[in-house]
Structure 1
Amino acid sequence: MQGFVTNTPDIDAEILRVLLSVEQTELVKPELAKPYRVLVSRADLQQRITPLSRYCRVGVQAWSVRKDGTANLGDAFDLCAAAGAALESAPSNSQIILSAEIQSGPSRVADEVTRIEYQYMTVLLEVAT
């Protein structure tokens, strides 16, 4: 780390920066033409750990959909695992993400509306605030 963060960082922007090294990443799942691959990220700031840092729970959805509209769960699993690895290695080159630990997943989930399955994981970050 090169120094202290002196203004409130944009946590979503930093997570997107990290995950874009893996695949197209969005904050809300877009309507995409099939076939497609996409990561969807959600960041929820949690309680303070120190006066300069707090927890941030990140949810990552990994979608891999074939041309016929069915899920490619093996590819989605690999995509989700790559996203987790990218977040775990982020502290080595980020002034905002101080530590990262996978809490759960990848887990198989079905979208309630489309019934298309995807993989989901949660990662606990410590972030500078």
Structure 2
Amino acid sequence: MNAFKAYVITQDENRKAGGALTTLAPDALGAGEVLIRVHYSSINYKDALAATGTGKIIRRFPCVGGIDMSGEVVESADPRFAAGDKVIATSFDIGVAHHGGYAEYARVPAAWVVPLPAGL
């Protein structure tokens, strides 16, 4: 896997949050058993609060924004998921204390991943 684009939210020395599109190396991904090629991530109120520093949403800086994602499994250490599976991951610490869906790739714990329901 090569470097990839992500919207990373940082905090400056005055504790002011802001985000920018950045290139990340694969080793910058968070811990987890499932690597996902992100296809979609919503833009919602909580993400806006996180990106502007309002509401103190993010608990770990820097953090890739996006509290949800859907995409395709690239690799998995969990037998429930295989490369090519379409999946969704949302809630838990995604986009808050664990890198979120505003990136081309995300790695998350398998317990946070569910198969994409047919028809969605």
TM-score by length of 2: 0.31
Higher strand share: 1
Higher helix share: 1
Q: Which has the larger radius of gyration?
A: 1
